[in-house]
């Protein structure tokens, strides 16, 4: 019998990791990411200093920021970061929780794999536990009644304060929570029934100077631009706004061309014609009755002069997103050709005014017919502080919006996680076979969150877990970790409130990521593709 010749399918520069080694590598990478953000979890979490390739420094304990700045090569690590990004995009908070929970689920899964429990069994158990978690959350979440205005606002403020309690600005969270709630309710009131409540309608203008507590809400739009000409009016009441996405300049020809001028009079004629074209633009604006011009692109010096001469205010080179916001709030049509401008294209505002904010000048557009956009002027003593205040405000805006669109709340401080773990263990006992182990491992991973909360707060995690288990076994479902008192307490009384929507999204996303990584038993990558060497040689389940 002739000797069998091995068939080489993969290229020489390709690396392949199979079976248990592939899973071990992926789990290890995911756990490393989870461990990196674990110490920043919770109100007593530590900050991370991130230095990019340009030497720019970011100091934050915000999970989304930390993970976004991480430059990782391992594909499994990238998947964990993608989970956090998904959570951030969907609900705006819970990114650190999602990363830590994903790491916990995979760490527990590795122990089950070491016990020879097949990955598909673990995946099935995790899927069932994740679905059961969503059911439990729906059962125990408390409904919020938006018609009871005072109580509703108080709950929303508590939700905002809880989101900001882990941030640098936690000392100012009471005042900032009021600003956040007023901002979200303002855009919710202005939105149509079928219209999505988008945080994009609450732009934030960052300005160094004053304290974080001086952050203010402007019921209108603030553009980080100043008027283009010094003699233009700084304040226009009963504003009629012309909004352009085209430049107010003589357009350049599509092809390069040269004009030969033989005598000075021809030169003057040429310049006069250009000036005439520019003046016709201003004449058109004056004709329709506009007294404010907002342009996405440039405004020629001649046009600036003539606009100022006619008492018309103008700003230029605003962001495209701001063009959309001006359109939304004032009703101004976005004009692409100045010749097409009509009176019906003009937007309206009670007041357009240039004001000094810190060292800069900004344009305030207030009293618009459509209150679909409000602006937050974010303040802080330094650039780093302003950035961190801005991140905290972003999280708070999202969680308040989450409660507005899905009016159900849970109690934080690890209370919901402890209750979930208790109920999941009861549920695990109803499952058949080895799926029980997986469901219990899922419960353990969720329970590791309050343990991490306690550990980061300087408490003994084992003592806290024992107290939490005892309380929840006795039916005290709202008991969690009070890091101020340093013991287990009623989170309902402490007003530590979280949106149910965030918790459901975090658990679902973390479970899906863990299941996806556990399903991988073969990694094929080209050299330099970012797959690190595993702790052992090649192998598969048959070799164990």
pLDDT tens over the chain, length 544 residues: 455 655 556 566 666 676 777 888 889 999 999 999 999 999 999 989 988 888 888 888 888 889 888 888 888 999 999 999 989 888 889 999 999 999 999 999 999 999 999 999 999 999 999 999 999 999 999 999 998 889 999 999 999 999 998 877 777 888 999 999 999 999 888 676 656 788 989 999 998 888 888 899 999 999 999 999 999 999 999 999 999 999 998 776 555 666 666 677 666 665 666 678 889 999 999 999 999 999 999 999 999 999 999 999 999 999 999 999 999 899 999 999 999 999 999 999 999 999 998 888 999 999 988 778 899 999 988 888 898 899 899 999 999 999 999 999 999 999 999 999 999 999 999 998 999 999 999 999 999 999 999 999 999 999 999 999 999 999 999 999 999 899 999 999 999 999 999 999 999 999 999 999 999 887 767 665 445 544 433 334 333 3
Locate tokens 């097949």: which residue? 118
Q: Check residue 171 and give its pLDDT.
A: 78
Residue spans per domain, the chain = 14-142+410-524, 145-201+380-406, 220-252+265-370
Helix (H) or strand (E) holding 237: strand 235-244
The neighbour count for residue 10, using CB atoms within 10 Å, is 10
Domain 145-201+380-406 falls under CATH 2.40.10: no
What is the tally of helices (H) and strands (E) in the chain?
16, 19
Q: Check residue 272 and give its pLDDT.
A: 64
Tell me how far apart the alpha carbons of residues 235 and 364 are, in angstroms, rounded to a whole number: 9
Tell me how far apart the alpha carbons of residues 218 and 241 are, in angstroms, rounded to a whole number: 19
Helix (H) or strand (E) holding 364: strand 360-366
Tell me how far apart the alpha carbons of residues 49 and 59 are, in angstroms, rounded to a whole number: 5
Distances (CA, A) of 177 to 11, 43, 144, 180, 232: 58, 16, 18, 5, 38
Torsion sign, CA atoms 175, 180, 186, 189: negative
Tell me how far apart the alpha carbons of residues 354 and 373 are, in angstroms, rounded to a whole number: 18
CB–CB of 226/399 below 8 Å?
Answer: no
Q: Is 381 helix (H, G, I), strand (E, B) or coil?
A: coil
The neighbour count for residue 208, using CB atoms within 10 Å, is 17
The domain covering 14-142+410-524 belongs, at the CATH homologous superfamily level, to GroEL-like equatorial domain (1.10.560.10)
Q: Check residue 258 and give its pLDDT.
A: 66
CA 107 to chain centre: 27
Count CA within 13 A, CB hemisphere, residue 513: 35
Q: Check residue 257 and give its pLDDT.
A: 61
Residues annotated as catalytic are 62, 95-96, 395
DSSP 503: H
- In 372-499, which residue ranges form alpha helices assigned H by DSSP? 383-405, 415-428, 435-456, 461-473, 491-494
Locate tokens 């100045």: which residue? 338
CATH architecture of structural domain 220-252+265-370: 3-Layer(bba) Sandwich (3.50)
Q: Which residues pair with 242 in a beta bridge?
A: 293
CB–CB of 222/182 below 8 Å?
Answer: no
């Amino acid at each position: 019998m002739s000797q069998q010749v091995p068939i080489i399918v993969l290229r020489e520069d390709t690396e392949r990791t199979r079976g248990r080694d592939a899973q071990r590598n992926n789990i290890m990478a995911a756990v490393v990411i989870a461990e990196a953000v674990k110490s920043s979890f919770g109100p007593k979490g530590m900050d991370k200093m991130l230095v990019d390739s340009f030497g720019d420094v970011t100091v934050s304990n915000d999970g989304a920021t930390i993970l976004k700045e991480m430059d990782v090569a391992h594909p499994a690590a990238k998947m964990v970061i993608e989970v956090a990004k998904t959570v951030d995009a969907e609900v705006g908070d819970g990114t650190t929780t999602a990363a830590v929970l994903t790491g916990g689920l995979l760490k527990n899964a590795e122990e089950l794999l070491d016990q020879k429990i097949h990955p598909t069994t673990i995946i099935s158990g995790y899927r069932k536990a994740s679905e059961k978690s969503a059911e439990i959350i729906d059962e125990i979440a408390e409904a919020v009644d938006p018609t009871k205005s005072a109580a509703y606002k108080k709950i929303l403020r508590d939700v905002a304060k809880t989101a900001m309690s882990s941030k640098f600005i936690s000392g100012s969270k009471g005042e900032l929570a009021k600003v956040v709630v007023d901002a979200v309710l303002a855009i919710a009131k202005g939105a149509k029934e079928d219209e999505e409540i988008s945080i994009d309608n609450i732009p934030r203008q960052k300005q160094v100077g004053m304290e974080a507590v001086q952050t203010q809400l402007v019921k209108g739009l603030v553009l980080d631009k100043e008027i283009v000409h010094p003699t233009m009016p700084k304040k226009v009441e009963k504003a009629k706004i012309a909004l352009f996405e085209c430049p107010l300049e003589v357009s350049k020809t599509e092809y390069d061309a040269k004009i030969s001028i033989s005598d000075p009079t021809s030169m003057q004629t040429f310049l006069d014609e250009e000036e005439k074209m520019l003046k016709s633009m201003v004449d058109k604006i004056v004709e329709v009755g506009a007294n404010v011009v907002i342009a996405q692109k440039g405004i020629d010096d001649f046009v600036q002069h003539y606009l100022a001469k006619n008492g018309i205010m103008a700003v230029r080179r605003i962001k495209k997103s701001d063009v959309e916001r001006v359109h939304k709030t004032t009703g101004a049509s976005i004009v692409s050709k100045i010749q097409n401008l009509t009176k019906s294209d003009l937007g309206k505002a009670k007041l357009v005014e240039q004001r000094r904010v810190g060292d800069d000048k900004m344009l305030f557009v207030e009293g618009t017919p459509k209150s679909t956009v409000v602006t937050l002027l974010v303040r802080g003593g330094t650039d780093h502080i302003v950035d961190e205040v801005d991140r905290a405000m972003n999280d708070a805006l999202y969680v308040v919006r989450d409660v507005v669109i899905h009016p159900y709340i849970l109690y934080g401080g690890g209370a919901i996680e402890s209750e979930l773990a208790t109920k999941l263990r009861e549920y695990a006992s109803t499952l058949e076979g080895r799926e029980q182990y997986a469901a219990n491992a899922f419960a353990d991973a969720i329970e590791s969150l309050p343990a991490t909360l306690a550990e980061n707060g300087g408490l003994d995690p084992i003592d806290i877990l024992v107290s939490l288990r005892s309380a929840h076994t006795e039916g005290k479902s709202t008991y969690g970790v009070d890091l101020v008192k340093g013991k287990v307490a009623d989170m309902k009384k402490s007003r530590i409130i979280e949106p149910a929507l965030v918790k459901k999204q975090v658990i679902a996303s973390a479970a899906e990521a863990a299941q996806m990584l556990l399903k991988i038993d073969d990694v094929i990558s080209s050299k330099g593709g970012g797959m690190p060497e595993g702790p052992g040689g090649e192998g598969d389940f048959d070799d164990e």
